[in-house]
Amino acid sequence: MPKQVFVGMSGGVDSSVATALLKSRDYLVTGVYMKNWTKNVAGFTCPWQQDYQDAKRAAVEIGIPFKVFDFEKDYQAKVVDYMIHEYEIGRTPNPDIMCNQEIKFKLFLERSLEEGADLIATGHYARVIGGQLYAGLDKNKDQSYFLYRLSAKALSRSLMPIGELQKPIVRQLARKLNLVTADKKDSQGICFIGTVNVKEFLSAYVKSEVGPIIDQKGKEVGYHDGALFYTIGQRHGLKVGGGLPYYVTGKDIHKNTVFVTTDLQDDTLWRSRFEFTSAHWLSGPPDSTSAYELRTRYRAPLVKVKKLSQLSREKWKVELDDEVRAVTPGQSAVIYQADRVVGGGIVS
């Protein structure tokens, strides 16, 4: 008997093609639009209604049933509030990772199973093989970095049909199928605020005050409008006039101070060792005999791991073969063994 699959349809080309591929493989497919965020922020109109209509029309074109799951309250609590809190305490979070962990591969999975699904599917550029997570074959679009916190249950119940494809092929398939989303631009930015600047978004929720910007010599070179808005390695948006560009090297949230340098080789910008916490391993922790690589940001180059040391149940220390620029507290360090995602944690 064919398996029932609920596909998360975002109204974009990737999830539309993933849905069509599953239908062609004789699964019993139902499209689901997850209504996660509908608020307008900082003068920007949230495009959720257009995305919903595009997802619904694509489902009609493919010839499958269509549902809407409303997760907005959960999304506010588990993703948006998390993001705001992390910025308030001086870290730079990745809400897309939390969205995948708490919404797409938890609430969506649970609700789908309750309504009769055997499996769920998404339009992620990643692969699930034998219950293990692997990078997508299109290295420019690979999204496995955002998926490293998935549970074993989620992986055992998930399909990612376009992980085997290159993006241009996905576009070609969408055009061949005459899908409404075939030429729709890819969404940019954070999963729920789209093209809105993070600073503009946060300004609607948090209070901030003007404070000093201090350079590598201890000299005050300008001012900022809230230390929480800045992240390690940032160059743009600094209110510092003339001369060489400045890069953020750190910040003191309690003193509302941002530290910068004009020296790209400044030791405070580069690290070859750091700790991460909230460790999550997809099939057991790494061992000392295997070769691993690590990525500290989406699309950042993979760097060879020299040594991994467990400090406590959830806290680890990593030493790398090469220095990495702008390792940022709150971001994720994701560990790979070749193309397989081993797991990772939050930079502390």
Is-catalytic flag, 191? yes
Active site residue 46: no
| Helix runs in 64-197, H state only | 72-75, 81-88, 95-99, 108-114, 152-156, 167-176
If DSSP codes are grouped into helix, strand and coil, which group holds residue 78?
Answer: helix
As a whole number of angstroms, the distance between CA 97 and CA 116 comes to 26
Task: Exactly one of 83, 191, 221, 342 is catalytic; name it.
Answer: 191
Q: At what angle do helices 13-24 and 48-62 cross, to 10 degrees?
A: 20
Question: Active-site residue among 58, 83, 99, 341?
Answer: 99
Which residues are registered as beta bridge partners of 295? Answer: 334
Using CB atoms within 10 Å of the CB of residue 132, give its burial: 0 to 12 exposed, 13 to 18 middle, 19+ buried: middle
| Residue corresponding to tokens 């003068």 | 43
Give the separation between CA 274 and CA 331, rounded to whole angstroms: 12
Q: What is the CA radius of gyration of the chain?
A: 21
Cβ distance 157 to 120 under 8 Å? yes
User: In the sheet where 220-224 sits, what is the strand order?
Assistant: 220-224, 211-214, 257-261, 247-252
Which stretches within 7-159 are classed as H helix?
13-24, 48-62, 72-75, 81-88, 95-99, 108-114, 152-156
Catalytic residues: 99, 191
